[in-house]
Each structure stands twice: as C-alpha cells, then as structure tokens.
Amino acid sequence: MKIKKQSDDDVLEGDLTPMIDMTFQLIAFFMVLINFTQTETDDRVKLPDSSLAKPPEIVMEDPIIIQLTDQSEVIFGRSTLAVNQLQSSLSREYQGIQFSGRDPKDTTVVIRAHGDAAAGEVQEVIQVCQDVGFENFALRAQENIQTFKYIAPTSGP
Amino acid sequence: MKVRNRRRGSDKIELQMTPMIDIVFQLLVFFIMTFKVVSMEGDFNIKMPQAAPSAAPPEQMEFPPLKLYMTANENGDLSSLTLNEQSFEGNNPFIELNRYIQQEIGLDGGPGSARETAEIEIGFDFNLKYTHVIGAITAVSGTKDQRTNEILPLIEKVRFTPPREE
C-alpha cells in the first residue's frame, strides 16, 4: 500500500464556510434571546411552582420585592435581615413612597418566598407589611406547565 | 501622481477571514456567558387591608364563606387538608380540592354568581412548607382548560386567617 505524502502536511485545509454559517446562526439565536432586564431575584430563593402562575398582563409599576429564604432570612433591597429587623427598613420605604407622591396603599408588595420556607414566616412578613401600612400583596410562584400537580384540568365550560 | 490601475481581467478582492472568525467567536462566547435560563414567574394577588375585612351580608353571597385549614407534620409536609368540615385525603388532596371547588362553584361567572362572591380563608400550621400554601391557593383559584390552555378562574377572593397569638 503506497501512502501518498501530501506536499505540505502541517497546514490544515478545509472549507470553513459552513462553520462560520453555524456560528452566525448561534449568535443570532443568543442575540434574540438576550434579556437585559434586571429583576430582583436572589439565587437562595427557589420559588414553589404552580401551573396557574402566569406573568401578569398588566405590568405593575414599582412593586416592592421582599424575598424569604428557607433559612428564615429576609432579603429586602440589597441587605439580608431577620424578620424583626424588617419593619424599620420597610417604614423608610413607606415614607419614601409617600414623599414621591404615590399612594403606598396602591403599591403591591411582591413576596418571593422559598418553597421550603415555613408558611408561618411568610405570614409574619405579611403582618409586618400590614403594620407598616401596605395592603396589596402578591405571592410569587414559578410557572410549571408540565404537571398538573394541584389542579385537575377540565374540558372547558 | 501616477495611479496604477491593474487591469488584468478580474480584480479579486481577498478577504481575510481569520480575524472575522475570531471576533465572531468572541461575540458567541459573550452571548453564551450572559445567557440565563429563568422560568417565568407569576403572582397570586391577595388583598389584605389592615382593618378586619367585612364579609358581604349573607343574603348577597350565594355561597357560604369557605374556611380551609391545613395541618403539618414535624417536617413541614402536609398532614391534613380540611374545608368547612370536609377533609380531603389521598396522594394528591389538592386535585380533589380543585375538583370539589369546580363542582360547587361552577365555571360560569356573571355578576352575583357564586364565582364572583365566593370567598375563602386559608389557615395553616406555622411550620407548614410554603409550597403547600401555594398549592392550596392554586387549587382554589382556578383551573386550566385542557384544550385551549386557558385559565378559568374559580375563587378570586383569597385571604389568610390572622396569625394566632402564641
């Protein structure tokens, strides 16, 4: 078997055009999906899932986001507090909202609590918010479309 | 100034592909690094003013006020689920609860119907895991049509029982 030796065998020859095409496809895919909005989320909080959790059609303006981890830590703004330290920061926020002319009674407090957090602690956080003066609450869950864990699907009215 | 114009048939412009491929790879790596997969988040709204909520007078309400209570074992898992003296058991009590609510409340909602006026108050043990509370709220708030994937609301007025004084 005679092996023909190529004249220059340290240069890799090959058509790079398909590779560039695939690379451009990948770039276009990621460019379309890139999302620069910074929603206040902390990785310590893993939301419970619900098949009815649908992102609201009407975007609410300036909600207050309070997060609760399963280790009983409250994350508000950029600080991690205990439940009993929350009231002072919240009342400052309340006064800030009043000062800027908005009505705190219209402000929604979004509570992102870890699925394994004690429900009683969530109630305590809600109680603190009520004491400060907030009235509208939204409990956040993540969307789970795969399994009907909590609701029995119907075939419609 | 002598401008030399090479007219030798076809003027071939040679593009240097290597730097372009390098920059393209840089861009690709940037986008891959900044890509984050997040699941969509939705909210369940509960309105709880500080003042004690006044229930609508019984004649206006087509449905008696519902009280749901969930007890927990020491791990925080659901041990029992009771609605107005009726208890739901089994592997997945939330689905049973959902079916029951669908039967009682019905899916049609006009003004004054059961769906519009029904209220539910949810209570639970302190150490119950929060996912079960969300599960209960999901089970009573609505159902999904299997064909159109549309969400059909059931009970819209949800509130929590005030925490017991310890």
Closest residue of chain B to A55, computed from CA coordinates = B42
d(CA A23, CA A13): 19
The residues spanned by each domain of chain A are 49-143
At B166 the pLDDT is 46
Q: What are phi and psi of B10, to 5 degrees?
A: -105, 130
Q: Are A50 and A141 in contact (CB under 8 A)?
A: yes
Q: Tell me whether residues B46 and A139 touch, CB distance under 8 A.
A: yes
Residue A157, pLDDT score: 54
Tell me which chain B residues have a C-beta less than 8 angstroms from the C-beta of A125. none
Residue in A31, A139, A153 closest to B134 by CB: A139
Amino acid type, A157:
P
- Interface touch B130/A55, C-beta < 8 Å: no
Interface test with A, best of B134, B151, B152 (most A CBs within 10 A): B134
3-state secondary structure B53-71: CCCCCCCCCCCCCEEEEEE
Report yes or no on whether pTM surpasses 0.80: no
Query: Domain A49-143 falls in which CATH fold?
Result: Nucleotidyltransferase; domain 5 (3.30.420)
DSSP assignment of A38-55 equals -----TT----EETT---
Report the percentage of chain A scoring pLDDT > 90.
13
| Distance of residue B3 Cα from the nearest chain A Cα, in angstroms | 35
* Contact indicator for A24, B25 with CB cutoff of 8 Å: no
Report the complex ipTM. 0.73
Coil, helix or strand for A119? helix
Burial of B141-166, coded b for 16+ CB within 10 Å and e otherwise, reads: bbbbeeeeeebbebbbbbebeeeeee
Helix (H, G, I), strand (E, B) or coil at A4: coil
Mark yes or no for CB contact B145/A153 under 8 Å.
yes
Which distant-in-sequence residues (6+ apart) come within 8 Å of B162 by Cβ?
none
**pLDDT averaged per 10 residues in sequence order, chain B, 166 residues:** 66 85 93 84 78 51 77 87 85 85 73 73 89 88 77 82 66
SS3 assignment for chain B: CCCCCCCCCCCCCCCCHHHHHHHHHHHHHHHHHCCCCCCCEEEEEEECCCCCCCCCCCCCCCCCCEEEEEEECCCCCEEEEEECCEEECCCCHHHHHHHHHHHHHCCCCCCCCHHHHCEEEEEECCCCEHHHHHHHHHHHHEEEECCCCCEEECCCEEEECCCCCC
Burial of A100 (0-12, 13-18, 19+ CB in 10 A): exposed
Angle CA A138–A140–A145, to nearest 5: 130
Residue A22 has pLDDT above 90, yes or no: yes
Is the pLDDT confidence value at A28 over 90? yes
Q: Which of B134, B131, B133, B101 is nearest to B119 (CA)?
A: B101
Contact B163 A53 (CB under 8 A): no
- Tell me the pLDDT tens digit for each residue of A34-93: 888 777 888 888 888 888 887 777 776 788 899 999 888 899 888 888 888 888 989 998
Distance CA B74, CA B5 (A): 90
Q: Do B102 and A152 touch (CB under 8 A)?
A: yes
